[in-house]
Chain A
């Protein structure tokens, strides 16, 4: 792999890691909200 290809791989991995992190954070908030809704009898 050339240095340029290596740089592209690193950049791609970084952007995917950021998106995965944001999605996991959003899921934590969603599951917390679902739990609160469930225990408050909202179903």
Chain B
């Protein structure tokens, strides 16, 4: 842990931020899923990429995600200060000045995109740039403070990694990476709203228009179920379009059936006490496992049947 800051009369700390706080800005734990889906896109793509270049591509995806997370926290420092879950982040806790975070985020963005372009190809670099810009400008600045549907469109930012991984190998974007993009895109609402159901008090305190805050829990539960149904179609699309074989097909069928069961339980419940939201927490945890399972299955399937 970084030590407590020595504060000037204004809000900026007098001593330079600890390097660990720069790492914390990149949200390393959230990055896991981004790196994994990017790696799966890269491994499922036809063709070969030198291991060093493949490693660099994944590193760039991770750095790009870290840059986007940093710029998100730079912009939302005031909001983060109002939420228990985020109040101890480097900026709201006063361990770092905002300008350092901005410079770090912008620098990391340019570095990740340029390195991706140099090491692999400029299509992958362009998609990485679009994903960072989308997360910062479309999600963080535009949608998140304005609409309860923020994460529906904003979730697209998290759906880019498999497309970037694929493009890094092939230099193009074909049907399978688009299908994987759609899977993450429609997976995001039930995943995130399950979380928002049991941490809604935090979002309410910060004035963020999350669906449970604006429209209530009944609507949120209905929307979770609605997007789960669309996600199920997206999950089965690679099989129906013959882009993958029976390994992915079996994993998608069983995994999605369990997802739908958990989502249906959440849909049917009427519980507003976060302490008694075991099914909602189960859906949230399972949704992470589900994405790991399906993306792992895509890679195994492509390696076995390609």
Contacts and interface: CB of A to CB of B under 8 A. Distances in A.
B3 A40 contact: no
Contacts of A38: 53
A28 interface: no
B53 A43 contact: yes
Contacts of B28: none
Chain B, interface SS category: loop
Interface residues of B, number: 19
Interface in A1-43: 1, 5, 8-9, 12-13, 15-16, 19, 30, 33-34, 36-38, 40, 42-43
A24 B53 CA distance: 18
Contacts of B118: 34
Interface string B33-64: 00000000000000001111100100100000
A30 B52 CA distance: 8
B289 interface: no
A34 B116 CA distance: 11
Given A34-B52, A34-B56, A12 B16 contact: yes
B52 A12 contact: no
A5 B6 contact: yes
A3 B15 CA distance: 13
B70 to A, nearest CB: 16
Contacts of B51: 37
B112 interface: no
Interface of A: 1, 5, 8-9, 12-13, 15-16, 19, 30, 33-34, 36-38, 40, 42-43
